[in-house]
Chain A
Amino acid sequence: MGSSGSRLSKELLAEYQDLTFLTKQEILLAHRRFCELLPPEHRSVEESLQIRVSLEQILSLPELKANPFKERICRVFSTSPARDSLSFEDFLDLLSVFSDTATPDIKSHYAFRIFDFDDDGTLNREDLSHLVNCLTGQGEDTQLSASEMKQLIDNVSSWARPGSRREGQGLGLTLSLPQILEESDIDRDGTINLSEFQHVISRSPDFASSFKIVL
């Protein structure tokens, strides 16, 4: 398994355990897997902590390969200026958020950032349609038509608009779209912000169990 001799120092391991939801074995496994992505000459511990792995290499991991959000995930967790590479610590962050024991709050926080394709802090129409495209895959037969898409997104945003046609379902704590956006013509369709998103997600019974990646 590559650089079997190189181990993380005890102190660093303890700190990583304090800071992530991972156990010692998981961190070590993550490190090993990370090192496998590195070119053989850079596999010492010091270097593996410094060096960054490019997006393409991370995406080739079998755990991420089939994920439609893989690029978004990597971008969200990347700390490099160009957002195109992951350091080991970023990688650990990723695994921590996607681990079994992470709290729903932090999971939904990152889910929001993953779905926020244009990084503007809210989910707007474009984000939502992008999201639907991701979820329905690349195949021609599975893609939704434009009208279907529009309707879907209208629906998704319409629970958020009290007094819209889905009144029967719109009860409960409807998410407030900032109505101001509609009125001042900034964005006719409204957007979803993080707290609203987290509110919806916290109601979901199976988000936390499916928002998981295990190495």
Chain B
Amino acid sequence: MSRQLKGRGEEADGGARGRARSGSPGTGDRSGRRPSRKQAPRAEGAAAGRRGAQPGQKERAGGSPRPGSPRRKQAERRRHGEELGEQGRSSTERTCEGRRKRDGRASLKEQRAPPKKEKEVPRKEEMWKRPKKHRSPSLASRPSGVESLSEEELAQILEQVEDKKKLIATMRNKPWPMARKLRELREAQEFVEKYEGALGKGKGKRLYACKMLIAKKWVKFKRDFHNFKTQCIPWEMKIKDIESHFGSSVASYFIFLRWMYGVNLVLFGLIFGLVIIPEVLMGVPYGSIPRKTVPRAEEEKAMDFSVLWDFEGYIKYSALFYGYYNNQRTIGWLRYRLPMAYFMVGVSVFGYSLMIVIRSMASNTQGSASEGESANFTFSFKMFTSWDYLIGNSETADNKYASITTSFKESIVDEQESNKEENIHLTRFLRVLANFLIICCLCGSGYLIYFVVKRSQEFSKMQNVSWYERNEVEIVMSLLGMFCPPLFETIAALENYHPRIGLKWQLGRIFALFLGNLYTFLLALMDDVHLKLSNEETIKNITHWTLFNYYNASGWNESVPRPPLHPADVPRGSCWETAVGIEFMRLTVSDMLVTYITILLGDFLRACFVRFMNYCWCWDLEAGFPSYAEFDISGNVLGLIFNQGMIWMGSFYAPGLVGINVLRLLTSMYFQCWAVMSSNVPHERVFKASRSNNFYMGLLLLVLFLSLLPVAYTIMSLPPSFDCGPFSGKNRMYDVIQETIENDFPAFLGKIFAFLANPGLIIPAILLMFLAIYYLNSVSKSLSRANAQLRKKIQALREVEKSHKSVKGRTTVQDSEDTAKDTSKNATQHQLTKE
């Protein structure tokens, strides 16, 4: 049955083609659309009617500027697409021939119903206009089989229109000169417009027209939006200047910085929009409760600049820090659940950052799917892809020439004698020594920080401490970050690595240094937090007794209720969360200042000195010793990444930190752009950026994860302070979620959540996830194995093909030229299958 149906369908198809062919000879299309079951029985009548349509068709076609052009164009396009002038034509011809054969069958049936011809013409015209969309309902309602024929044609036209649209959409991918593209585009658009307008009738027509209009508007809107988006990207010109001066590697830092700025803007919007602004607008005003008031003891110095600079005084008791927030469940007339919002924003800051980092990593890797294969093409890569087309500065270009030459020479030498170890024992000894020294440095810096943080805790208990003693931690950390990397570089000179490998080691060591410093800092801070937590109980008692004594004190008129104790006088705990937030805030600010001062001293003053003292100096300063500074990409990127890590860690306890960071990134964009253009010189060894791009992203992800850990630890296992912050009075911070579920959601939801939180469910879920990871991993492994096997197969096949070809001799030269024109990547495969 099905076969029969199919056969009939083919007939109908053939009929359609027959007509189509007679309308525009010599061309064809591939609308191999199988009619549905309903249609099939009517196919005969349909085939008959098709002839009838012919005159009308022709007339209509004659009226248009280019009769029959759509199909011819389509064929043409196909040919262009394949880019094989000769072959393409022959293939179309072949298909046409096939069709002619089938048409032979169909034409028999066409002849059976000649009398219908004339009267069907007008109907035909109408049907022509019916859109595809309405096909099935109209089919069902229609009595005769005549009309289903036009559906066929309609489908064809629609298909062509779709083809044209596709062509329009992909035109820009064609390597044609603009004039030709314009011509093709105009033709295609004309066609689309002509037939699009003709498609549809009555209600359907209007609907169709509407749809098309909306589609057009949508395309236009998308394009405008895209234009708008690109216009909104800031600093394009600055980055372009840097690109042309320093090549893409230095510019990649600035692009990274800009990206970071965007991410921080989003975080800033989240935190300010959902936490700080609601608190400022709707929360209890300053001075109404103890946590929002400067204590009496600090009051007189609270506005001093030196105090404010340390984020103490009024700044400490402001919405910038955790401690200011009240634990009232809802605030304002909106009944905004601030503690809940605070918690959720804290979580979503991490969620968003994770998502965006992973997304950009994924989009970076998409381009270069095959990492492992790059080793196969070292020479061709050096040849074909080593030039950086963005370079527009002759000095940079010279450097680039030099570096390319060196890399060529190097690779030749490598090729000649890849194993030229002179004194392997000495090298090994030196490398071990260097690593030992560096580990010593790392340990030393870690201990130094621990020591300093401990000492600062003692200082904080003392009354009058000097400026240095107050800021010792930040200063020491910044100094370590400033002087250790050059020290590492000096030590690394011992190792005698290839510069590229050396750079990797250097990056790894700086990363370890920063990470070690950060974590030592955190550990010391954690000690402090625990200390404060243990003191909390006593302070709680003191507070309680103070209030109790105050209200129950004798000698007060019982009839008049006593005015409440002024909030500034209430004794309160140390609020470890705010203390942590302040530490991060100070660290960020001092880090920023040290960076700027380093740039100013190390780059700008050095450049000035070299530039102007060169006239009266005994050696050539510009070429000789100090010379100009190069832009330290890796150091800067790492600094940026760690700064971001601090922001992530601190933003939960200091919501204002992100705002500070946005300012910092903004200023550093301008400042560093200026510094790099004014006082740096292009790199001696210009290396490419994109390769390390994902490396930096990976580091960022790692730092994000590492900064997530301490925050998650404090949220999950430390009790919040009893008298400050949005979670005060709770046992744990995450209790706020449970509270919301219990009070604000219907009971069954609470049950569901309780059920979901059951370990009996979570453990299987985690197991399932592991299994899924395992499964996906094995699938990807097997796929890559299959990939490798296919590659081997192709190779083997090509060997066979070659021997084959050599027999055939010159005749196959033509063949290889054909493949040369083939744009598809599987060109060789095509060739094979052809053979």
A interface residues, Cβ below 8 angstroms from B: 14-15, 17-21, 23-26, 62-69, 77, 79, 89-90, 92-93, 96, 98, 103-106, 109-111, 115, 121-122, 128, 131-132, 135-137, 139, 142-144, 148, 151-152, 155-156, 159, 162, 169-174, 176, 178-181, 183-184, 186, 193-195, 197-214
- Which B residue sits closest to A183, measured CB to CB? B806
The complex places the Cα of A103 from the Cα of B169 at a distance, in Å, of 14
Binds A, one of B39-47, B401-409, B778-786: B401-409
B805 within 8 A of A: yes
Residue B644 at the A interface, CB < 8 A?
no
Q: Inside 8 A of B401's CB, which chain A residues have their CB?
A: 68, 135-137, 139, 142
Q: Which residues of B contact A106 (CB under 8 A)?
A: 173-175
Q: Nearest chain-B residue to A199 (Cβ)?
A: B825
Write the B231-272 contact mask toward A (1 if CB under 8 angstroms, else 0). Answer: 100000000100110001000000000000000000000000
Q: Which of B105-113, B379-387, B504-512, B706-714 contacts A (4 or more CB under 8 A)?
A: B379-387
Bound complex: CA A204 to CA B821 (Å)? 21
Partner of B379, one of A19, A159, A197: A159
B390 near A121 with CB under 8 A, answer: no
Given A144-B405, A151-B412, A173-B791, are A19 and B810 neighbors across the interface (CB < 8 Å)?
no
- The A contact surface, by secondary structure, is helix
Residue contact B812 to A139, C-beta cutoff 8 Å: no
Known contacts A65-B394, A214-B243: A96-B172 contact under CB 8 Å: yes
A-B contact pairs, 26 of them (CB 8 A): A19-B182, A19-B185, A62-B244, A77-B177, A90-B178, A121-B821, A122-B820, A132-B383, A137-B401, A137-B405, A139-B398, A143-B405, A152-B412, A174-B795, A179-B805, A180-B805, A193-B820, A195-B820, A195-B824, A197-B384, A201-B384, A201-B385, A203-B370, A206-B368, A209-B688, A211-B385
Of the residues A25, A79, A205, contact of B367 by C-beta under 8 Å: A205
Q: A89-B182, A155-B412 are in contact. List 6 more A-B contacts (CB 8 A).
A: A14-B220, A93-B177, A111-B384, A173-B376, A199-B825, A212-B390
CB neighbours of B392 from chain A (8 A): 62-67
Closest to B184 in A: A19
Cβ of B556 under 8 Å from chain A: no
Which A residues are in CB contact (< 8 Å) with B371? 205
For the complex, give the distance between the alpha carbons of A30 and B556 in Å: 85
**Residues on the B chain within 8 Å of A210, using CB:** 248, 385, 387-390, 688, 690
Q: How far is the CA of A151 from the CA of B174 in the complex (A)?
A: 36
Closest to B415 in A: A155
Most buried by A among B223, B368, B825: B368
Asked if B75 is at the interface of the complex by the 8 Å CB criterion, the answer is no
Known: A137-B398, A212-B390. A206 touches B688 (CB 8 A): yes
B394 touches A66 (CB 8 A): yes
Most A CB contacts (10 A, CB to CB) among B248, B393, B397, B408 go to B408
Q: State whether the Cβ of B827 lies closer than 8 Å to any Cβ in chain A.
A: yes
User: Judging by beta carbons under 8 Å apart, are A206 and B691 in contact?
Assistant: yes
Chain A residue nearest to B802 (CB atoms) is: A179
Partner of B389, one of A98, A137, A162, A201: A98
Interface residue from B177, B368, B812 paired with A79 (Cβ < 8 Å): B177
Q: State A21–B384 Cα separation when bound (angstroms).
A: 23
Given A63-B392, A180-B805, A210-B385, answer yes or no on A121-B402 (Cβ-Cβ < 8 Å).
no
* Bound: A201/B226 CA distance, A: 29
| A15-B185, A93-B178, A152-B412 known; A135 vs B172 contact (CB < 8 Å) | no
In the complex, the answer to whether B178 meets A17 with C-beta atoms within 8 Å is no
- Which partner residue on chain B sits nearest A111 by CB separation? B384
Of A26, A115, A174, A193, which one neighbours B384 at CB under 8 angstroms? Answer: A115
Q: Is B546 an interface residue (CB 8 A)?
A: no
Mark out the residues of chain B between 610 and 660 whose CB falls within 8 Å of any chain A CB in the assembled complex. Answer: none
Complex-state Cα separation, A65 to B368, whole angstroms: 30
B688 touches A20 (CB 8 A): no
User: Of the candidates B182, B186, B412, which one forms a contact with A148 in the assembled complex, judged by CB atoms under 8 Å apart?
Assistant: B412
Residues of B with C-beta under 8 A to A63: 244, 392
B765 at the interface (CB under 8 A from A): no
- Contact present for A213 and B389 (CB under 8 Å): yes
Which residues from A are CB-within-8-Å of B542? none
Complex CA gap A128/B380 in Å reads 10
With a CB–CB cut-off of 8 A, which chain B residues contact A64?
A: 392
* Complex Cα–Cα for A148 and B415 (A): 11
A135 lies within 8 A of B368 (CB)? no
Report yes or no: B226 in contact with A68, Cβ–Cβ below 8 A.
no
Tell me, in angstroms, the Cα distance from A209 to B689 when the chains sit together: 8
Cβ < 8 Å to A, chain B residues 684-705? 688-691
Residues of B near any A CB (own CB < 8 A): 168, 171-175, 177-179, 181-182, 185-186, 220, 223, 226-227, 230-231, 240, 243-244, 248, 367-368, 370-371, 373-381, 383-394, 396-398, 401-402, 404-405, 408-409, 411-412, 415, 688-691, 791, 794-795, 798-799, 802, 805-806, 809-810, 812-813, 816-817, 819-825, 827-828
In whole angstroms, what is the CA distance A59 to B389 when docked?
14
Residue contact B391 to A67, C-beta cutoff 8 Å: yes
Given contacts A89-B177, A205-B691, contact A69 B405 (CB under 8 A): no
Closest to A155 in B: B379
> Are B230's CB and A193's CB within 8 A?
no
Which residue from chain A places its CB closest to the CB of B367 in the assembled complex?
A208
Q: Tell me the smallest distance from the CB of B376 to a CB of chain A, in Å.
A: 4
Distance to closest chain B CB from A185 (angstroms): 11
A157 to chain B, nearest CB (A): 9
**Which residues on the A side are within 8 Å of B172 (C-beta)?**
18-21, 96
> Which residues in A have their C-beta under 8 angstroms from that of B386?
135
Minimal beta-carbon separation of A46 from chain B (angstroms): 16
- Decide: A178 and B813 in contact? CB cutoff 8 A: yes
- Which residue, of A121, A144, A194, has the highest number of chain B Cβ atoms within 10 A? A194
Contact indicator A105/B394 (Cβ below 8 Å): no
Q: Given the complex of chains A and B, what is the CA–CA distance between A210 and B687 in angstroms?
A: 11
**Cα-based distance from A135 to B688 in the complex (angstroms):** 15
CB neighbours (8 Å) of A204 from chain B are 368, 374, 377, 381, 384-385
Q: Which residues of A contact B174 (CB under 8 A)?
A: 106
Task: Report whether B376 and A170 are in contact in the complex, using a CB–CB cutoff of 8 Å.
Answer: yes
Q: CA of A13 to CA of B43 in the docked complex: distance in angstroms?
A: 47
Please name all residues of chain B whose beta carbon is closer than 8 Å to the beta carbon of A214 when the two chains form the complex.
240, 243, 390
Q: Contacts A89-B178, A176-B828 given: A184-B367 contact, CB under 8 Å?
A: no
B412 touches A69 (CB 8 A): no
Q: A96-B172, A176-B802, A206-B690 are in contact. Are A66 and B820 (CB under 8 A)?
A: no
Q: Is the CB–CB distance between B819 and A18 below 8 Å? A: no
Taking CB atoms, residues of chain B closer than 8 Å to A79 are 177-179
Decide: A156 and B248 in contact? CB cutoff 8 A. Answer: no
- Give the residue of B175, B223, B231, B248 whose beta carbon is less than 8 angstroms from that of A17: B223
A180 to B381: give the CA distance in the assembly, Å: 25
* B25 smallest CB distance to A (angstroms): 31
Q: Are B168 and A18 in contact (CB under 8 A)?
A: yes
Q: How far is the CA of A193 from the CA of B817 in the complex (A)?
A: 8
Query: What is the bound-complex CA distance between A98 and B175, given in angstroms?
Result: 12
Which of A17, A151, A180 lies in contact with B813, CB distance below 8 A? A180
Give the residues in chain A near B404, CB-CB below 8 Å: 135-136
CB A161 to nearest CB in B, in angstroms, measures 11
Partner of B409, one of A148, A180, A212: A148
**Which residues of chain A have C-beta atoms less than 8 A from B385's C-beta?**
201, 204, 206-207, 210-211
Chain B residues lying within 8 Å of A213, measured Cβ to Cβ, are 389-390
Q: Would B227 and A66 count as touching, CB distance under 8 A?
A: no
A139 CB → nearest B CB, Å? 7
B407, chain A: closest CB distance, angstroms: 10
Query: Within the assembled complex, what's the spacing in Å between the Cα atoms of A86 and B622?
Result: 41
Check if A194 sits within 8 Å of B813, measured CB to CB.
no
Bound together, the chains give a CA A170 to CA B376 distance in angstroms of: 6
The reply to whether A159 and B405 form a contact with Cβ atoms under 8 Å apart is no
B806 touches A180 (CB 8 A): yes
CB of A200 within 8 A of CB of B380, answer: yes
List the B side residues contacting A69 at CB < 8 Å. 387, 389
Q: Contact check: which of A23, A173, A178, A179 meets B230 at CB < 8 Å?
A: A23
Rounded to whole Å, the gap between the CB of A109 and the closest CB of chain B is 5
